[in-house]
Amino acid sequence: MPELNKKEIIIRNGTIGFVLGIISSLLIYLMIFGALEQTLSLSQIGHQHSQLWYLYLIDFLPIPGLLGGMLVGRYSFRQIDMLYARLRRETDKNAEIKQFAHSLIAGDLNTSITLPQKDRTLSDSLNKLKDTLVRNREIERQRRLDEQQRNWISEGLAEFGDILRTHAQELESMAYAVISNLVRYLDANQGALYLTEREGKDRILTMLACHAYERKKFPDQKISWGEGLIGAVAMEKKGFYTDKIPDGYLTITSGLGKANPKYLLIEPLIWNDRVFGIIEIASFKALEDYKLQFVSRVAESIATTVNTMESTLRTEQLLKETQAQADQLA
């Protein structure tokens, strides 16, 4: 409250007290002169003062009235000032709560509110409300992310199912279509597909198809069972993913030159506990868990397809042998 208003209140109350003091003095004089059955006049008042000295005290009644009025004015000012301060605090608190609410409505969940100690309960409740909204937003964000990942996996499985059905008659064509599309779908940089073969009594892994390697044609790289990372994965029948690739293990060639990939995934092609081959994926970017799960499911589908193709080839071979025997008997 401005200082001028304070002075006005004190002066106004002091004036009222002074006037009341004068009125009180006149009333007392009226009662005294009424009791003496005398006419109230200034000459009579002066005459009575010469006989009754305590009448001078009545003359000074306006002074205590003035002082009393000023004290009442000061007290009134303090009360009004306290009321105004309380109103200002309530107004500021309401404005802060309103701003906090608007921030939440606008989606700004990084805000917080701190009210005075006496309003601590309200402050805690509002902040708990904000924390609840943050948790709900995170749950909703995670739900949408999970849904997007499930859709990504479902669409990918459908796409690779079509690829496997389309190329089910020719192994090398299927291998190249799978690895090239898998590298693209994972947004990786390089990949290769190895198939298990027999070399005498030993099992080996032969690179049947590759994508983005230095040589465009299919290399005839062969890896012994248990040799290196690929051979170890085939032996252990367990996928391997790392961001610590040995120096010189792989090199990715691009328009910017050669560079070592940062992430490597080696996934076995397993069906009925049999390893049909290996998928190797190299990337500059990390592969999230859902992508690793996707590759595992695609690897199982590839193993199933290869098993079916081998069964078909064996059946055809048996039919040829049976026909040949029938021709000999005939």
In a domain, 234, yes or no: yes
The β-bridge partners of 223 are 205
Task: Please count the CA atoms within 13 angstroms of the CA of 108 that sit on its side-chain side.
Answer: 9
Q: What local confidence, expressed as pLDDT, does residue 50 receive?
A: 64
Long-range Cβ pairs for the range 125-128 (8 Å, 24+): 126/97, 126/100
Q: Are residues 29 and 76 in the same domain?
A: yes
311 sits in the region (left: phi over 0; alpha: psi -120 to 50; else beta) called alpha
Q: Are residues 61 and 39 in the same domain?
A: yes
Q: What local confidence, expressed as pLDDT, does residue 302 receive?
A: 93
- CA distances (Å), 83 to each of 90, 120, 161, in order? 10, 21, 77
Between vectors from CA 313 to CA 308 and to CA 316, what angle results, nearest 5°? 125
E strand or H helix at 50, and its extent? helix 42-51
Q: Answer yes or no: are the C-beta atoms of 246 and 261 closer than 8 Å.
A: no
CATH of the domain at 193: 3.30.450.40
Q: Are residues 264 and 308 in the same domain?
A: yes
In a domain, 112, yes or no: no
CA-wise closest residue to 252 among 262, 243, 240, 244: 262
Q: Are residues 231 and 137 in the same domain?
A: no
The lowest-confidence range among 4-13, 170-179, 233-242, 246-255 is 246-255
| Angstrom distance (rounded) from CA 328 to CA 330 | 5
Look over the chain and give the mean of its residue pLDDT values, rounded to a whole number. 79
149 by Cβ neighbours in 10 Å (0-12 / 13-18 / 19+) ranks as middle
The lowest-confidence range among 145-149, 168-172, 301-305 is 168-172
246 by Cβ neighbours in 10 Å (0-12 / 13-18 / 19+) ranks as exposed
Is it the case that residue 3 has pLDDT exceeding 60?
Answer: no
Helix (H, G, I), strand (E, B) or coil at 202: strand
Q: Are residues 68 and 31 in the same domain?
A: yes
Is it the case that residue 274 has pLDDT exceeding 80?
Answer: yes
280 sits in the region (left: phi over 0; alpha: psi -120 to 50; else beta) called beta
105 by Cβ neighbours in 10 Å (0-12 / 13-18 / 19+) ranks as exposed
Q: Answer yes or no: are the C-beta atoms of 10 and 77 closer than 8 Å.
A: yes
**For the residues of 222-263, what is the DSSP string, one character each?**
EEETT-HHHHHHHHHT--EEES-PPTTS--EEETTEEE--SE
**For the residues of 99-153, what is the DSSP string, one character each?**
HHHHHHHTT-TT------GGGHHHHHHHHHHHHHHHHHHHHHHHHHHHHHHHHHH
Task: Please count the CA atoms within 13 angstroms of the CA of 52 that sit on its side-chain side.
Answer: 14
Is it the case that residue 47 has pLDDT exceeding 70?
Answer: no
Q: Are residues 310 and 228 in the same domain?
A: yes
Q: What local confidence, expressed as pLDDT, does residue 40 receive?
A: 64
Q: Which domain holds residue 35?
A: 3-105
pTM of the model: 0.62
Q: Answer yes or no: are the C-beta atoms of 196 and 202 closer than 8 Å.
A: no
Q: Are residues 192 and 236 in the same domain?
A: yes
Higher pLDDT, 200 or 226: 226
The one-letter amino acid code at 78 reads R
237: which residues sit within 8 A by CB, 6+ positions away? Answer: 268, 270, 273, 275
Higher pLDDT, 311 or 194: 194
Q: Are residues 198 and 271 in the same domain?
A: yes
Q: Are residues 71 and 187 in the same domain?
A: no
